[in-house]
Amino acid sequence: MLPPRSTANADDSRVVDPEVSANWQRANIQAAASYLRERMSGGATDPKTKAVYEGLLEVLDPTRRATRMQREAASSAQAAATVKPARERRARNDRRGRSDRRRVNLGSPTGAERRGGGDRRTGRDRRNQ
């Protein structure tokens, strides 16, 4: 493939004709896609090769990308819709039930209180005694 032709311009000598540039880029993308197609028909079936090939085709045909994006969005929406009823079903039957272990006072873990009633604060200040 040949690089794009520059058009002579008094202001900027590097101005590229957009039509020529688009044709050159399109031709290179088509050549790369056909090369990958040949490799895939020859047995290269790895996911990366297929993804690159599909990406090149999406560059050539933007509607192909829009269709793929809609298809992926629809499938993810369908998957999300199937998750929601399961979540609602779980929420309906309270998993903890009526006895929440965090709210039950079981007392001291050793069975006896370490401090007697005299050691507890009674409202008076014991620091200055």
Residue identified by tokens 């045909």 is: 61
Who's near 9: CB < 8 A, 6+ residues apart? 15
Instruction: Categorise residue 107: left if φ over 0, alpha if ψ from -120 to 50, beta otherwise.
Output: left
pLDDT of residue 109: 75
- Do residues 4 and 24 lie in contact, with contact meaning Cβ atoms separated by under 8 Å? yes
User: How do residues 64-73 score in pLDDT, each as one tens digit?
Assistant: 889 989 999 9
pLDDT of residue 24: 87
pLDDT: which is higher, 58 or 13: 58
Q: How far apart are CA 31 and CA 59, in angstroms?
A: 13
pLDDT of residue 84: 66
pLDDT of 116 higher than 90: no
Q: Is the pTM of this model over 0.75?
A: no
User: How do residues 29-78 score in pLDDT, each as one tens digit?
Assistant: 999 999 999 999 998 888 999 999 999 999 998 898 899 899 999 988 88
Give the Å distances, CA to CA, from 112 to 103, 105, 115, 117: 20, 14, 9, 13
- Do residues 42 and 20 lie in contact, with contact meaning Cβ atoms separated by under 8 Å? no
Average pLDDT, the chain: 75
